[in-house]
Structure 1
Amino acid sequence: MSNITFFSLILAFTGFMGFKSTQLKPAPTPEVGMFKVEIFYPNGEGKTFDMDYYEKKHMPMVAALLGENLEFYEINKGVAGRTPNDQAPFVAIGCFYITDVAAYSNAVAQNRDVIVADFKNYTNIQPVIQISKIEHVGYPGKK
């Protein structure tokens, strides 16, 4: 085997080994017994929302404050209501999936001023918050 062929094989192997397995990780999924904290931002005339700031600054900041209690979070952008022609009832919905409501409440209470002060950087909407316990997760058609 020539030196060039051997070197090419080593380079190819190294390249394959360099690919991280992050692409192979399963997507985070809610599980029965977890809690979901949903932050609803109602839509309406004169209401503003900077999704870019929310995605890149606010939610990661709050996620960091929640620590290990946070399993994962998601951000949903409202695009329509009941039908595609209806206005979305919410501009955005942020969701934190946690395991302990008391730990969540404690983290938010300790950092309330920082969290609330950041609102002005992305919205003029007073959010509505709901905490739910996940009772069932279904995957129709999958075994």
Structure 2
Amino acid sequence: MPVSLQVIYPVTEGTKFDHAYYADTHFQIVDEHMGAHIQTIVVTKGLAGGPDTPAPYYAIATMTFADQAAMDAAMKAAGPALEDIPNFTDVKPQMLIGEVVS
């Protein structure tokens, strides 16, 4: 059964997030070290939380995997990607692991 990993970067006062580095460099690192295990990646840049409401998140990355074993293998290889996080943000990312239902 497919599973997903969402990495969520919440906006909090006084934090920074370098979208260019995230898109151009960080995801090259993710692909190099974890890509063989990932089926799809969708990255969403936060624009708004609704009409006249600022975005509550800088970005959300959603990665899907064929099954739990594939995600486990990707996570074992994730060290360089995790170590790269301070290069584009000082936000502590949140994660959601889930079962893909549709």
TM-score interval for Structure 1 and Structure 2 normalised by the shorter chain? 0.7 to 0.9
Residue of structure 1 in register with 2:14 after alignment: 46
Aligned length: 102
Q: Work out the percentage of aligned pairs sharing the same amino acid.
A: 28
Rounded to whole Å, the distance in 1 between the matches of 2:29 and 2:77 is 14
C-alpha offsets along residues 42-89 of structure 1, whole Å, 9 cap, x if unaligned? 0111111111111111122112322432112111011111x2211211
- Unaligned 5+ segments in structure 1 are 1-32, 137-143
Please point out which of 83, 87, 108 is paired with 2:54. Answer: 87
Q: Which structure has greater helix proportion?
A: 1
TM superposition score normalised by structure 1: 0.64
Rounded to whole Å, the distance in 1 between the matches of 2:93 and 2:54 is 18
Matched, 1:121 2:87: yes
- Cα RMSD (Å): 1.6
- Unaligned 5+ segments in structure 2 are none
TM superposition score normalised by structure 2: 0.86
Q: Which structure has greater strand proportion?
A: 2
Q: 1 or 2 for the larger relative contact order (CA 8 Å, sep ≥6)?
A: 2
Higher Rg of the two aligned structures: 1
